[in-house]
């Protein structure tokens, strides 16, 4: 299999090509590891858990963001690139700092109402899927407003915000509503790209819609006025 790797080196991108003998359908991570072990020990990429849990190994495979550890490859040729949106550091490694900085800036963590506050299985079901987020950032890497550098929190942040906001143990609703407002859910264009690429089926766009509804119900944002089509004459 020919493996083309678009890598970031000394401030610019270049493409390296490797011929990798493969049997069956290895994971992309296995292919990258084989290149590193047998052909180019300088090739850099992220890996930790190898089990779709840590969220660190996101890259683009033939143009689509994937987790390298849970994506199988086949065919005669593949192209591997670093994720869009995130700042490249080296080869396929990008900086995940913006993820943690935004969660910290918007105070997205659970502050319990009371000591030993409990939660029922039914309550957890209400937010199920948002709990599965592994902070991989694949959703942010395809989000049009983020790619256009608009001041939008992005799908990852809203997925976390929803998870904590709807947790009955949480005692910081006002803080999180303010954070949601500041993250401008109305900037979402509802293209669903985040839902499509999420490797854990988290449906970020759904949580953005539900948070926007909550803000509307609280009177914190206003409903869009319908456009005036008076010129149509009816």
Instruction: Write out the residues near ligand FES by the rule CB under 6 A.
Output: 47-50, 52-57, 67, 69
Phi/psi-derived region of residue 135, left when phi > 0, alpha when psi is between -120 and 50, beta in every other case: left
To the nearest whole angstrom, how small is the minimum distance from the Cβ of residue 111 to ligand SF4? 22
CB 66 to ligand FES: min, Å: 10
Q: How far is the CB of 200 from ligand SF4 (least distance, A)?
A: 4
Q: Collect all residues with Cβ–Cβ distance below 8 Å to 147 and sequence separation of at least 6.
A: 84, 85
Given candidates 59, 108, 156, 165, which one binds ligand SF4 under the rule CB under 6 A?
A: 156
- Residue 98 as a binder of ligand SF4 (CB under 6 A): the answer is no
Q: Toward ligand FES, which CB reaches closer, 155 or 199?
A: 199
User: Distance between CA atoms of 51 and 67, rounded to whole angstroms?
Assistant: 10
Name the 3-class secondary structure at 67. strand
Interaction of residue 210 with ligand SF4, rule CB under 6 A? no
Closest contact distance (angstroms) between CB of 220 and ligand SF4 is 19
Contact 104, 149 (CB under 8 A): no
Question: Would you say 3 or 133 has its CB closer to ligand SF4?
Answer: 133
Alpha helices in 153-203, H assignment, sequence order: 155-165, 173-182, 193-197
Residue 202 near which of ligand SF4, ligand FES, none (CB within 5-8 Å, type-dependent): ligand SF4
- The entry of ligand SF4, ligand FES, none near residue 200 (CB within 5 to 8 angstroms by kind) is ligand SF4
- Exposed, middle or buried: residue 221 (CB in 10 Å: 0-12, 13-18, 19+)? middle
At 72 the three-state DSSP class reads: strand
Distance CA 165, CA 167 (A): 6
Q: Which residues bind ligand SF4 (CB under 6 A)?
A: 133-139, 142-145, 155-156, 159, 188-194, 198, 200, 202, 204-205, 208
């Amino acid at each position: 299999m020919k493996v083309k790797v678009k890598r970031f080196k000394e401030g610019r991108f270049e493409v390296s090509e490797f011929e990798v003998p493969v049997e069956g359908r290895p994971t992309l991570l296995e292919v990258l590891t084989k290149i590193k072990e047998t052909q180019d020990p300088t090739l850099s990429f992220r890996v930790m858990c190898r089990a779709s849990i840590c969220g660190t190994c996101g890259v683009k495979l033939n143009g689509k963001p994937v987790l390298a550890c849970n994506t199988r490859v086949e065919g005669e040729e593949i192209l591997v690139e670093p994720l869009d949106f995130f700042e490249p550091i080296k080869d396929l490694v990008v900086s995940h700092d913006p993820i943690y900085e935004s969660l910290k800036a918007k105070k997205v963590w659970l502050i319990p109402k009371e000591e030993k506050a409990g939660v029922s299985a039914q309550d957890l079901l209400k937010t199920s899927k948002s709990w599965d987020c592994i902070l991989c950032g694949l959703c942010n890497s395809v989000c049009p407003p983020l790619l256009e550098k608009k001041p939008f929190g992005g799908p990852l942040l809203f997925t976390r915000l929803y998870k904590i906001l709807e947790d009955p143990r949480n005692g910081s609703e006002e803080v999180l509503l303010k954070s949601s407002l500041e993250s401008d859910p109305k900037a979402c264009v509802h293209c669903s790209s985040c839902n499509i690429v999420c490797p854990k089926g988290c449906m970020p766009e759904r949580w953005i819609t539900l948070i926007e509804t909550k803000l509307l119900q609280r009177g914190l944002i206003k409903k869009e006025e319908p456009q005036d089509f008076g010129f149509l004459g009816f």
